[in-house]
Amino acid sequence: MATTNTLSDPAIQLQLRQAKMDDIPQIAALSERVYAGTGMYGYPEPVLIGQQNHFPEGQFVVVAGEKIVGYCATLRVSEKRAFKQHNWSEITGNGYIATHDPHGEWLYGMEVCVDPNYRGYRIGQRLYNARKQLAQDLSLKGIVFAGRLPTLASRIKRYGTAEAYVEAVRKKEQRDPVLSFQLRNDFEFIGLIPHYLDADHQSMGYGVHMIWRNPKVSQTPAKGKQKNYGKRQPDSVRVGTVQYQQRKVQSFEEFMEAVAYFVDVVADYKGDFVVFPELFTLQLLSMESQQLSPVEAIEALTKYTPQFREAMRDLALRYNINIIGGSHPTRMPNGRVENICYIFLRDGTVHAQAKIHPTPNEAYWWNIEGGSELDVIQTDCGPIGVLICYDSEFPELARHLTDQGAQILFVPFCTDERQGYLRVRYCCQARAVENQIYVVMSGNCGNLPNVANMDIQYAQSCILTPCDLPFARDGIAADTTPNTEMVAMADLRPDLLMTARNSGSVQNLRDRRHDLYHVRWKGK
């Protein structure tokens, strides 16, 4: 159903501003409306989250009152990448703009869309002007993009080739709703890119390679190679991972006293995050007078969920620290039991991340089912992601979080013997290398003889880094002694991740072949 244009109301004003995280649902809905019937799809919310996390200052919206009626997305690219042949997926990282280069000399325009009910108000013009202003504010050489030809398919018989059609538009013998507008806005045509976006049937897959040169910046190439490595900033994130010993407790209060002790320790060291292991709340079952069956045990544990959430949130507020609350079996509103990691931020916000892949053991003995949502969590230390134990062994999940902007991946785990532990450890190290992120592991040690599936534990908690020159040579920022209760801490620098991604010995994220493969999330 068409949306009524609200600009007839004198109280409604058009305003252009930078996009915010809160705008994402509206932007996703706008893009769906704009591309309906074209054969192309709008932007799902995880993609828009990635855009915001990678380059927030490059995303703009136009609002009519509270309604978003226009949107544009940009990223920075190097001159070499800007002018060579490319396709949309390759240069935009499939829309997530994980390919954003903070040192890039050019602003790349990857998207402009305007609500069909608000066309005629020069909303596109406002967005293009915002891009130009951004390029000038950042002292970039200019703007480059590959535009659409939405009337090409309907006129190709008349002109024979895409090149002939573009030439007719340039000579003003033919009007194109997009190209004609761009030429009027001082953009120069530099060529056609075949197979730029094959899903764009109206443009027959072509992209029109265009540039706008910033008049305030010299276009003369700099002499010699430019140094773009070795930079660092003082900002760091201090993380403490708790290798937690399972022991019998007499009450919920005793359990929380042990938890509070470790929160206090990491907070005293001015930590930003403290991390607990997967299923560490199973310790509460040691209070039971007799051993419960696995199903009975999980059912008993789920009853502690409200009390656990309230107590952990209070600790995060009192100690001014973000808590990755291990994981806790939770009865969902639909009756399913899921293994949930609760994340308690120091502003009082509580997030929940379900384990996506229960192990065969969890599914068989405890009837735990997997979740279907996986999003980054915005914190005061930047975007983070959480994967619970077995989930770290599925590389697509970590890549999905990295594409959304995650810089630190937290992995609470619970493994009974060394082989199981090493599967998780090796996979976490791989996730750190292939995504150029930090990975923090936290596991249980000790034994709970009367608690089903918790009779033995093996752990060596650690904080892992990519393997490159800015980091520890073995890719380990901090490690623990196996099977010993202790805390390991490290200062993690997000700027070093950016240095590695853009000028490291290897550049895994930048070198991905987006023309060949990508991860597409089908869940929410």
CB distance 240 to 265 below 8 Å: yes
Catalytic residue among 113, 341, 389, 428, which?
A: 389
- From residue 192, how far is each of 171, 209, 367 by CA, in Å? 16, 6, 56
Largest separation between any pair of C-alpha atoms in the chain: 88
Nearest-angstrom CA–CA distance, 212 and 145 = 9
CA distance 79 to 282: 55
The token pair at 154 is: 């309907």
CA distance 30 to 49: 15
HSE on the CB side for 151, CA within 13 Å? 14
Catalytic choice (90, 105, 111, 278) = 278
> How far apart are the C-alpha atoms of 64 and 14, rounded to whole Å?
5
* Phi, psi (rounded to 5 degrees) for 514: -65, -20
How far is the C-alpha of 443 from the C-alpha of 246, rounded, in Å?
A: 10
Count of alpha carbons within 13 angstroms of residue 335, beta-carbon side:
0
Counting DSSP H helices and E strands in the chain, the numbers are 15, 22
Whether 341 sits among the annotated catalytic residues: the reply is no
Instruction: In whole angstroms, give the CA distance from residue 355 to residue 371.
Output: 6
Catalytic residue among 90, 341, 355, 427: 355
Vertex 523 angle, CA 518 and 524, to 5°: 115
Active-site residue, 462 included: no
User: Nearest-CA neighbor of 75 among 22, 111, 45?
Assistant: 111
DSSP 43: -
Which of 279, 294, 400 has its CA nearest to residue 339? 279
Strands (E), 26-161: 59-64, 67-77, 106-114, 142-147
Name the residue with tokens 């027959």. Answer: 204
**Is 248 among the residues known to form the active site?**
no
How far, in Å, CA of 369 to CA of 312, rounded? 24
- What are the Cα distances from residue 204, in Å, to 190, 283, 352? 18, 61, 43
Q: Where are the beta strands (DSSP E) in 158-236?
A: 188-193, 207-213
Instruction: Give dist(CA 358, CA 371) in Å, integer.
Output: 9
Would you please indicate which residues are annotated as catalytic (active-site) residues? 278, 355, 389
